[in-house]
Amino acid sequence: MIEVEQLSRSFRGQQVLDKISFEIKQGEFFGIIGPNGSGKSTLLRLISGIDPVASGSVRLNGQAVSSYSRKELARWLAVLQQNALPPVGFTVREVIEMGRYPFQSWMGEDSLDAETLIASIIDKLNLAPLAQRTIEQLSGGECQRVALAKVMAQQPRLLMLDEPTTFLDIGYQIQMMDYIKEWQLESELTVVAVLHDLNLAAQYCSRLMVVNQGKVVAVGTPEEIITSSLIARVYGTEPIVLRHPVNKAPQILLQPGK
């Protein structure tokens, strides 16, 4: 699905990504973690084709990402970014309908029955009570749910998430990740997620990649990655790592510095 080889990126003489290589298989829930400023979001922008690749290569389905047109990419790849909604004034339903743009002709005709699809998404994400509200009337959690609905309407095979739970309280964080995980399993969706919360990453991702100072530190299962020694080496603080009592995923407990 995704092949990244020797990918590098610099800004104003500063190396942000340094010869990064990895692969992601179809159907994976792949998490990218690392300290602030380590290059995670820059990496996601390059993989998704938002920014051009100048050094190294990114291949999607065996084809260079640069060879796709914007509309071709949008027909099977979706990106959910922070603050991803359009300007104020649009209703929730109108925002969700925007997800169908890649499949519309120049006359605005859709390639399928979009009304049925949008209605099912509204129902699935419990957005019916909000459908006619404008987005400036929504809470942060509701806005993120609408942003998710918009990319669901796009029906991608590859979904990229840039810290989708930032600024959400813990209830909305779990709700958002549950919706994404359920969608991933139902549709055999490939998900690539930049995540700030290591405990969420360990519970929802099948594999994790740690990035620090623009380089890949390690790639592996949550059990292989979420260890006291690796976290201490990358983040500069040594946590206590325990098993979740229900799903057995590794979870960290922070402890004050000495």
Query: For residue 35, what is the domain's CATH number?
Result: 3.40.50.300
Q: Is 254 inside any structural domain?
A: no
Q: Is 56 inside any structural domain?
A: yes
Q: Is 246 inside any structural domain?
A: no
Q: Is 232 inside any structural domain?
A: no
Q: Is 53 inside any structural domain?
A: yes
pLDDT given for residue 76 in this prediction = 87
Inter-residue contact 152 to 161 (CB < 8 Å): no
The pTM of the whole model exceeds 0.95: no
Q: How far apart are CA 42 and CA 51, in angstroms?
A: 8
Q: How far apart are CA 138 and CA 146, in angstroms?
A: 9
Q: How far apart are CA 105 and CA 103, in angstroms?
A: 7
Q: Is 71 inside any structural domain?
A: yes
Tally of structural domains, the chain = 1
Q: Is 239 inside any structural domain?
A: no
Q: Is 95 inside any structural domain?
A: yes
List of the chain residues with pLDDT < 70 = 82-84, 86-87, 105-112, 258
pLDDT given for residue 258 in this prediction = 62
For residue 168, give Cα distances in angstroms to 95, 141, 251.
20, 6, 20
pLDDT given for residue 112 in this prediction = 67
Structural domain boundaries, residue 214: 2-222
